[in-house]
Amino acid sequence: MNPQGERWTTDQVLALAPDEASRRAGGKLAAPGPWSETGADEGAVWGQCKGSGKKPYQTVVDIKGPAFKCSCPSRKFPCKHALGLLLLWAGDGGEVTAAEPSAWAGEWLAGRRERAEREAGAPSGAAAPSRAPADPEAAKRRAERRMQRIGAGATELEQRLEDLLQSGLASAESGGGSWDETAARMVDAQAPGLAARVRELSSVVASGPDWPARLLEECALLHLLDQGFLGIERLPGPLAATVRSRVGLTTEAADLLTGPDAATVRDRWLVLAQQDSDDGKLITRRIFLRGERTGRMALHLSFGGSPGRPLDLTLPPGLVLDADLAYYPGARPLRATLGERHAPAAPGPVPPGGGIDAALAAYGDALRDDPWLDSWPVVLTDVTPIPSRDGKGWQLADADGESALPLDPRCVGRTSLWQLVAISGGAPITVFGECGHRGFLPLTAWDPAPVSL
Contact between residue 441 and residue 408 where contact means Cβ atoms under 8 Å apart: yes
Q: What is the pLDDT of residues 351-375, one digit of tens each?
A: 999 999 999 999 999 999 999 999 9
Closest CA to 287 of 331, 230, 334: 334
**Is the model's pLDDT at 99 over the cut of 90?**
no
Alpha helices (H) along 29-120: 80-90, 103-120
Bridge partners (DSSP) listed for residue 439: 436
**Is the model's pLDDT at 127 over the cut of 50?**
no
**Alpha-carbon span 28 to 70, nearest angstrom:** 17
Q: What is the pLDDT of residues 381-433, one digit of tens each?
A: 999 999 988 878 899 999 887 889 999 988 876 778 888 999 999 999 999 99
**Is the model's pLDDT at 8 over the cut of 70?**
yes
CA distances from 243 to 17, 32, 225, 372 (A): 35, 54, 7, 9
Can the peptide bond before residue 448 be classed as cis, meaning omega within 30 degrees of 0? yes
**Alpha-carbon span 22 to 284, nearest angstrom:** 17
**Alpha-carbon span 152 to 171, nearest angstrom:** 25
Q: What is the pLDDT of residues 134-176, one digit of tens each?
A: 577 887 888 899 999 999 999 999 999 999 989 888 888 776 5
Question: Alpha-carbon Rg of the chain, whole angstroms?
Answer: 24
Q: Which of 86-96 are b and which e, b meaning 16 or more Cβ less than 10 Å from the residue's Cβ?
A: bbbbbbeeeeb
Strands in 156-221 per DSSP E: none
The model's confidence at residue 292, banded by pLDDT at 50, 70 and 90, is very high
**Alpha-carbon span 242 to 234, nearest angstrom:** 14
